[in-house]
Structure 1
Amino acid sequence: MTENLADLTATDLLAHYRDGSLSPVEVTEAVLARVESLEPKLCALYALDPTAAREAARESEHRWLRNDPAGPLDGVPITIKENIATRGTPVPQGTAATELIPATEDAPAAARLRAAGAVIFSKTTMPEYGMLSSGVSTFHHLSRNPWDTTRTPGGSSAGAAAAAAAGYGPIHIGTDIGGSIRLPAGWCGVVGLKPTHGRVAVGNPYPGRAIGPLARTAADAALALTIMTGPDRRDPTSLPHISDTFTEPGPIEGTRIGLLLDAGLGLPVAPEVTAAVSAAAALLEKAGAIVEPIAPIITREMLDGLDRFWRVRSAYDINALPEERRAKVLPEILRWVSTATDLTAFDVFHGHNQMAAMATAVNAAFASYDFLISPVAPITAFPAELAYPTDDPLKPFEHIAFTVPYNMSTHPAATVNCGWSSDGLPIGLQIAAPRFEDMATLRLATTIDSLQRDHRDWPTG
């Protein structure tokens, strides 16, 4: 086998484990070697534990030799974002202001992955409190994009996206409350899925917050989603298990697709982004889909209202910290929340209501379509050192107008690479579908990927 074992998909690894042609020990060693080679440049990982990984891989090898795997991910190396609790590891939330107290139990998603036999060899980095679409953090080293280390991998699932693109194993788990899976997935050229809200139980549920996979293939993302789904007592918003499965996509003739190229607000869409998404839409149309342009879904009032509500929520949390810990919070975050006291109760209540307003707007947009597609972000990956693409803490959400509506409406949304900028950076396309149609987004992602001609080697050197 000439291909580096770190680059094999989860579905390929499982096939090799079944026929005995590969061992989880060999694969884990290949992944750890890849990490040793690239991690000094990428800084994607937190709490890397090679000793525990090797022990878990040996245990998995023994199970496969007995033809008695623990579950559908036995022996597959994965990472989990640091804000998804794993027992024994602190959850710093990307900030030096957090007390480092080891988690007492696995969060629901981590517990299900561990029970399925996954080799959880590391956590991945995130920015300050998960409130940035970059890798900037006062706790972690600055995470960087494998395609160009001067650029950000995105955030807040920064390390997860960088790890997926760099081949730190096939499956990586992130979180998303406004685009935090999809933005870094798009900027790193991988598949990312924000599932239907509640499909994956969250240990600390909050409106819009979701847990989902990042991977190089839609099939691997689907495999991870299938394992993580189902209710959990710790999340009252979690849904019953949904039994839909991922299958190879069939013909898309007659599929109705709404094409959103202009969000109507925020940063202007770069011409290269518009061109790449338009070209993908044209390929879908040529394959038989009915593709129609649609008007912007959300308004300035909706995005600004959400910004006001979130900054008051964050100000409340930060102001509750002791002074010595509050002083450690990233200055850009402190600047953002400093304006919270200028808002009235009416401003905050109105901002809270914009979540429902976005949901209503998205539901209306789906009235005539099976899918909605758009850019993931209006720009390609920005400089790694910037906390925000605007470089302005008071304008932090000008790049999330394509992604955040589906958090508020709870619809599933996935990303897939659809092209490249002139300087070789990935351009992501977002696919949204009606609630519970998570697998449909991944099937369409596979279709779009199969229609693309410009597939490039992964940045593993």
Structure 2
Amino acid sequence: MDTPLYALGATQLLERYRDRSLSPVEVTQAVLARIAQWEPHIHATYALDAEAALAQAKAAEARWAAGAPQGMLDGVPVTLKENIATLGTPTPLGSAATVLAPAPADAPAAARLREAGAVIVTKTTMPDFGFLGASPSSFHPLTRNPWDFSRTPGGSSSGAAAAAAAGYGPLHLGTDIGGSVRIPAGFCGVFGLKPSHGRVPVDPPAAARVIGPLARNVADAALLMKVVSQPDARDYMSLPPQAIAWDTLQRSPKGLRIGLWLDTRTDWAVDAEVRTAVEAAARLFEQAGAIVEPMTDWTTDDMRLGLTHFFTMRCRVELAAMPPERAALTARYIRAAAEFAGKLSPEDTFRAFSRLQLLHAATVAATQPFDFVLSPVSPGLPFAADAINSGSSHPLKDSHFTSAFNQSGQPAASINCGHSRSGLPIGLQIAARRFDDLGVLQMARFYESVRPEQAAWPEPQ
């Protein structure tokens, strides 16, 4: 059976454009039709402009016909999370409290995509200010998981992951400050990469915040990294430009020392089905010659208290900058976080930064002996679509395995490693030492090549 046009990978599309067997217009039309099928169910898009997308596709078609493609992604459909600014489109940040004004310029990643000729089909949804590993938003309709509409796609790159799983084209960009690419990638069964901090220029830059690709396969994500990791002077925290062989993905894990992080210093345990799937993935690395060793949880409640205090204080500061009538429009979870932060002293806020530094140092020290670290992405399965978390009394449980690598700046990816008995995806996290983004992609590609056959992608009902 022929692969539908909307489901072709970016590398496949470029080959077909090159030999003139396929047109960017045909592909964009197929993607738009796919979106029309899915959107009544999952609500993953924001500011969809079919006319503009088709105009971009027609321009790409003309360039290919003239034998003069514009760049590495000419005519390839992409989506961007709505907080990645695109010229002329408001960026609501998932919140009804945001004053909508056209963005004055493309953000660095959006600018690189346009320069490469990509067709920006739509923006994608997120929760208020990217605060959740879930999708409820005071601005966007509730985004749902294509695998099960009663379940969350995760967050905060909720729409990006749902779009990737549903087949809204091959390439998607999200942002990640505590797991916001990897958690939704894990919940939606797609590949997602959180690059090293500074690898992809961000405007405005911030500690722990990164932009990363989501796709149905590792090679497409690597191709997207090749484009968006190019320099942009607006990010004063970005890494120096580096000639990385993003398409050199073949590598054996033989002889590598790999840590397996499954146990935690908490009173909760990883879901049994999640644990079983991650252990099975680790055995495949071991069978290929890697030395896999269990790791002790290096994080503490005190370190994670720093995360809680920092992010709730961020909510308080955001709301304090708004007129009260606008602040009242934010989601209840943002207002609750701001209220909690109001009880913190200046000393508590300073200690939050100190605790984040401790988490950074502890993560680097614990992972330094290993070439790579394997773990779950999330300790549990996708939870209810309208919930803000898995319901645990531990508010940071859902990001337990992901947030440490934001603080340390290390690259980490999510790749599907199985499904629960109920058919829900399970994500394997692969992390590396800082700057080894290519190594993470290579280990993900190895696992992709040896994992059991994957379930068929979901279809709209």
TM-score w.r.t. the length of structure 1 is 0.98
> Does the Cα contact within 8 Å between 1:195 and 1:210 map onto a contact in 2?
yes
Give the deviation of 1:401 after TM superposition: 1.2
1:162-214 CA distance string (max 9 Å, x none): 00000000000000000000000000001100101001111111110000100
User: 3-state SS of the aligned residue for 2:375?
Assistant: strand
Aligned pairs for 1:267-346 (under 5 A) are 267-346=268-347
How far, CA to CA, are the matches of 1:283 and 1:199 in structure 2? 29
Give the deviation of 1:240 after TM superposition: 1.9
1:231-276 CA distance string (max 9 Å, x none): 3222110112221123232322101100001232375310000000
Query: Which amino acid letter does the alignment assign opposite residue 177 of structure 1?
Result: I
How far, CA to CA, are the matches of 2:14 and 2:311 in structure 1? 42
> Does the Cα contact within 8 Å between 1:266 and 1:401 map onto a contact in 2?
no
Give the deviation of 1:368 after TM superposition: 1.6
TM-score w.r.t. the length of structure 2 is 0.98
Residue 413 of structure 1 pairs with residue 412 of structure 2 = yes
Aligned pairs for 1:10-21 (under 5 A) are 10-21=10-21
> Does the Cα contact within 8 Å between 1:126 and 1:157 map onto a contact in 2?
yes
- Closer, same or farther: CA 214–267 of 1 in aligned 2, 3 Å: farther
How far, CA to CA, are the matches of 1:454 and 1:19 in structure 2? 30
How far, CA to CA, are the matches of 2:145 and 2:322 in structure 1? 32
RMSD over aligned CA atoms reads: 1.2
Per the alignment, residue 133 of structure 2 pairs with 133
> Does the Cα contact within 8 Å between 1:167 and 1:460 map onto a contact in 2?
no
How far, CA to CA, are the matches of 1:451 and 1:242 in structure 2? 30
Give the deviation of 1:391 after TM superposition: 6.8
How far, CA to CA, are the matches of 1:272 and 1:314 in structure 2? 34
Identical positions, percent: 51
Q: Bigger shift: 326-335 or 419-428?
A: 326-335
Aligned pairs for 1:20-35 (under 5 A) are 20-35=20-35
> Structure 2: 5+ residue runs without aligned partners?
none
Aligned pairs for 1:131-280 (under 5 A) are 131-245=131-245, 246-265=247-266, 267-280=268-281
Per the alignment, residue 454 of structure 2 pairs with 455
Per the alignment, residue 428 of structure 2 pairs with 429
How far, CA to CA, are the matches of 2:283 and 2:404 in structure 1? 24
Residue 446 of structure 1 pairs with residue 427 of structure 2 = no
> Does the Cα contact within 8 Å between 1:265 and 1:398 map onto a contact in 2?
no
1:120-165 CA distance string (max 9 Å, x none): 0100000011101111001000000000011000000000000000
Give the deviation of 1:460 after TM superposition: 2.9
User: 3-state SS of the aligned residue for 2:224?
Assistant: helix
How far, CA to CA, are the matches of 1:263 and 1:458 in structure 2? 32
Residue 365 of structure 1 pairs with residue 363 of structure 2 = no
- Closer, same or farther: CA 267–129 of 1 in aligned 2, 3 Å: farther
Aligned residue-pair number: 459
> Does the Cα contact within 8 Å between 1:230 and 1:238 map onto a contact in 2?
no
User: 3-state SS of the aligned residue for 1:368?
Assistant: coil
User: 3-state SS of the aligned residue for 2:53?
Assistant: helix
How far, CA to CA, are the matches of 1:415 and 1:109 in structure 2? 21
Query: Which amino acid letter does the alignment assign opposite residue 421 of structure 1?
Result: S
> Does the Cα contact within 8 Å between 1:171 and 1:224 map onto a contact in 2?
yes
Q: Bigger shift: 260-269 or 196-205?
A: 260-269
Give the deviation of 1:230 after TM superposition: 3.1
